[in-house]
Amino acid sequence: MLRLETGLTSALNWSHGVKRFVLGIMAFLVVAASAHMAFAGDMDSLVNKLVGKGVISKDDADSILAQSKNSGDEKLPGWIRKLTVSGDLRLRYEYVGVQGQSIGPINRGRFRYRLNLADQVADNVKAVFGISSDGGHSRSRNVTFGNTFSGKPMVINLAYAQYTPFKTLTVAGGKFPNPIWTPSMLTWDFNITPEGVFAVFTPPASGNLGAFVNADFFILDQLVNKPQFGAAMPYMFALQPGVDWKFNENGKVRVAAAYYLFDNLKRTYQFSNNLPGTIAQGGLSGPIGKIFGPAGTNNTLDAKKDLVYNYNDLWLGAQADFNKLSGVLPYAGLYGEYIYNPSPSSNNKGYIAGVKLGHASTAGRGLWQIDYSYRRLERDAWLDILPDADFFYGSTNVLGSRTSLTCGLAKNIYTAITWYNTRQISPNTAAGQTATHKMNTIQVDLGMSF
């Protein structure tokens, strides 16, 4: 009898010991998971789900939450508790064909991956760091499949500090998302993350009217050891005021203007490997060089390969959104941009007009949107290191259309097909061209964000 009681006591003690061990492991996992997810989730909700599934009892759940609150959260540094993680992945098939060139069409698979960490250092100070796949230039994060399964490069895509002393003012410095608002990529490729400082002032709204003022200082390149040529660091200023008008419950309009001022750009161009604009594949010494010339640009250059004109441009942009139109067509949007360079007397204007139909967002199953636009960007309307990289190699002296269809497959998962139908406005005589070239690009994407 004594042996039986002793055995039962030992078994019960062992059972309780195992139970405490299992509950301790579960508490640790809950705490670790919460830290890994930057405490964005609700720990109570997670534990209650375990109770609902019958994995643990209510008493066990209370014990886990008590352990996590007493020994987990308080021991983790505050900056870890406030850390948030976001990112996206896009897989792409791409076809590129240039009519009139001796090279054949390009067929390739590509991917883009971006990962961002943001930490609320203080109540009004945020630090952001981001890495991404390396597309080889500032306008792309696409990496091409190939080279027999070789490893692919990564780069620092974001690194900036943001200070918000008031709700109406934000100041930031470093390498950041472009603060300049544009409804399309006529003048700025959305992949560009400028470097420098900016400030955005957003006064309190008055009824249905809102406003913003954006002031920017961007550094384009760093040049040294060229004082004999008068070359210095090229940079740019931008000032952009804008107005938002919510004209009814389901409709709004944004209108903005911008003035760009470049300095140390003309005399610096020939000394910088980073400024010439084309991102053409195959190298400028090959057939692609017949389009852009040895300097790699469609902007007008002098005999020294410096820019002939300034690019202190005036810009206007607008976008109108109409929601809840009907069950078949819940959303429609109209947008446009116009840019003018007063330095040259010709080939100095650009514009785009576009329409969106479908849903305002495609971040959900069954949501869709069609986006069509037509643009014309003349040779010296804008500096060609900045426009849409996929529209005829990101150059100026181009016109044509972009058509895309995007469909949501699930929450934060989408697929899209895009067609660029483009051509040059006039032959690039500096590259020895006697005729214009046409270019068609087709992209099929599968993307997801988190």
Sequence spans of domains, the chain: 2-80, 85-449
Quickly state the pLDDT bin for 103 (edges 50, 70, 90): low
Q: Which amino acid is at 357?
A: L
Average pLDDT over residues 161-176: 97
Which has the higher per-residue pLDDT, 70 or 104?
104
Pairing state between β 413-424 and 398-410: antiparallel
Helix count (H) and strand count (E) of the chain?
A: 5, 17
Local structure of 445: helix, strand or coil: strand
pLDDT per position as a tens digit, 377-430? 999 999 989 999 999 989 999 999 999 999 999 999 999 999 999 999 998 887
DSSP 149: T
CA atoms within 13 A on the CB side of 428: 27
- pLDDT, position 91: 98
Average pLDDT over residues 269-295: 63
Local structure of 427: helix, strand or coil: coil
- pLDDT, position 33: 47
- Per-residue pLDDT at 87 exceeds 90: yes
Q: What mean pLDDT is reported for the chain? A: 84
- pLDDT, position 51: 76
Quickly state the pLDDT bin for 53 (edges 50, 70, 90): low
Helices (H), 195-296: 289-292
Average pLDDT over residues 21-39: 46
- pLDDT, position 264: 85
- Retrieve residue 13's tokens: 């003690």
Quickly state the pLDDT bin for 40 (edges 50, 70, 90): very low
Average pLDDT over residues 30-57: 58
Average pLDDT over residues 59-71: 68
- pLDDT, position 35: 44
Residue positions counted in the chain:
450
Quickly state the pLDDT bin for 77 (edges 50, 70, 90): low
- pLDDT, position 227: 62
Which has the higher per-residue pLDDT, 367 or 14?
367
Quickly state the pLDDT bin for 31 (edges 50, 70, 90): very low
Taking each helix axis as running N to C, give the angle between helix 2-36 and helix 43-52, from 0 to 180 degrees, rounded to the nearest 10. Answer: 140
The pTM of this model reads 0.81
Angstrom distance (rounded) from CA 399 to CA 450: 35
Instruction: State the DSSP H helix or E strand holding residue 25, giving kind and residue range, or none if neither.
Output: helix 2-36
For 85-449, which CATH superfamily applies?
A: Porin (2.40.160.10)
Average pLDDT over residues 132-157: 93
37-62 as b/e, with b when 16 or more CB fall inside 10 Å? ebbeeebeebbeebbeeeebeeebbe
- pLDDT, position 39: 41
